[in-house]
């Protein structure tokens, strides 16, 4: 199957634009996604007119329109005691852990010292309690997996080390102390579609075959960067071990709202819902709005192949 036929864009895209917000914003993008009590909840990042970002809560019965958007953020920058968020709270992902009976929100804590990955918890998406940063700055794309492994939490993240931007994993007994690093997925090389960097998208989805990971890959074209979407499958018991990977991208910017915006040629997935046998992928489009694409789970899994680059 052609990769461009795996995901199908929602006909009413974009599903959330700055004009939909109950306050002035330059952009709304890169939302975490959850499904609670028959509602779809998005956690989009909204950029204010002065350039700072906060994370808000939007609710919809059908996950497409009729969004009810809170006027105050669930995670706001500039909170006392959290200097690492002085410039913004960005790009949330939402993970439910049944063992803890709550949702965890991973997000980018941004300041003059650079980006870092923050973790917060919530029981109702009305308020969130900050927990920790998973490490130092120059780190992004943190996603928590939806269960513990031998009593330990597991996270994927993308530290920038010497210009290399691979997807790494780490484990923690308490969400504060992290260790046992593994390189999970490496960026490509040369002309590959993901040669510049890779980063985790939504939290991996638990399947019988393992953990399905949607990720973004970046290639440089002239003076710009082109963001596309790829897939990987992680081992069910050892999520730091990738067992398969899509040989190429499965989704790229093509619609006008993806090609033109604050940052053109960007599709940046951060939220995913498995609804029966259909996968819903929410993504930021051109760093300005939120869009939705859906795919049959069987078609998505059919894109995966064992790969020498899958695994660390």
User: Mind listing the pLDDT tens digit for each residue in 4-18?
Assistant: 689 999 999 999 999
Cβ–Cβ < 8 Å for 287, 266 = yes
- Spatial distance between the Cα atoms of 199 and 166, rounded to a whole number of angstroms: 7
Give me the domains of the chain, ranges plus CATH numbers.
Answer: 3-301 (2.115.10.20)
Cβ–Cβ < 8 Å for 63, 40 = yes
Q: Per residue in 240-257, pLDDT tens?
A: 999 999 999 999 999 999
Cβ–Cβ < 8 Å for 139, 157 = yes
Tokens found for residue 255: 């619609």
Q: Per residue in 164-216, pLDDT tens?
A: 899 999 999 999 999 999 999 998 877 889 999 999 999 999 999 999 999 99
H/E segment holding residue 175 = none
- Spatial distance between the Cα atoms of 251 and 273, rounded to a whole number of angstroms: 17
Query: pLDDT by residue for the chain (312 residues), tens digit each?
Result: 445 689 999 999 999 999 999 999 999 999 999 999 999 999 999 999 999 999 999 999 999 999 999 999 999 999 988 889 999 999 999 999 999 999 999 999 999 999 999 999 999 999 999 999 998 878 999 999 999 999 999 999 999 877 789 999 999 999 999 999 999 999 887 788 999 999 999 999 999 999 999 999 999 987 789 999 999 999 999 999 999 999 999 999 999 999 999 999 999 999 999 999 999 999 999 999 999 999 999 999 999 999 765 545
Cβ–Cβ < 8 Å for 233, 242 = yes
pTM: 0.96
161 by DSSP, 3-state: which? strand
Per-residue model confidence (pLDDT) at position 1:
45
What is the 8-class DSSP label of residue 238?
-
- Spatial distance between the Cα atoms of 191 and 185, rounded to a whole number of angstroms: 17
Cβ–Cβ < 8 Å for 76, 92 = no
- Spatial distance between the Cα atoms of 9 and 180, rounded to a whole number of angstroms: 39
């Amino acid at each position: 199957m052609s990769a461009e036929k795996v995901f199908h864009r929602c006909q009413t895209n974009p599903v959330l634009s700055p004009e939909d917000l109950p306050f002035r914003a330059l952009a709304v993008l890169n939302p975490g996604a959850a499904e609670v009590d028959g509602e779809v909840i998005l956690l989009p990042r909204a950029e204010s007119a002065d350039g700072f970002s906060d994370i808000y809560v939007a609710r919809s019965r059908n996950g497409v329109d009729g969004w009810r958007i809170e006027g105050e953020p669930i995670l706001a920058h500039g909170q006392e005691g959290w200097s690492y968020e002085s410039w913004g709270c960005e790009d949330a992902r939402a993970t439910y852990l049944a063992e803890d009976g709550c949702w965890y929100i991973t997000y980018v804590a941004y300041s003059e010292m650079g980006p870092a990955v923050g973790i917060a918890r919530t029981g109702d998406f009305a308020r969130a309690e900050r927990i920790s940063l998973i490490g130092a700055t120059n780190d992004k794309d943190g996603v928590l997996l939806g269960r513990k492994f031998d009593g330990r939490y597991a996270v994927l993240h993308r530290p920038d080390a010497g210009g290399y931007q691979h997807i790494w994993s780490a484990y923690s007994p308490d969400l504060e102390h992290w260790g046992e690093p593994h390189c999970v997925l490496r960026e490509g090389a040369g002309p590959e579609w993901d040669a510049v960097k890779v980063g985790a998208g939504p939290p991996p989805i638990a399947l019988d075959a393992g953990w399905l990971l949607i990720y973004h890959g970046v290639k440089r074209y002239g003076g710009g960067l082109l963001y596309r979407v790829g897939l990987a499958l992680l081992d069910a018991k050892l999520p730091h071990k990738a067992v398969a990977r899509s040989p190429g991208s499965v989704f790229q910017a093509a619609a006008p709202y993806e090609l033109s915006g604050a940052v053109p040629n960007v599709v940046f997935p951060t939220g995913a819902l498995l609804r029966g046998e259909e996968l819903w992928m929410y993504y930021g489009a051109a760093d300005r709005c939120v869009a939705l694409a859906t795919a049959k789970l069987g078609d998505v899994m059919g894109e995966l192949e064992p790969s020498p680059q899958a695994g660390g």
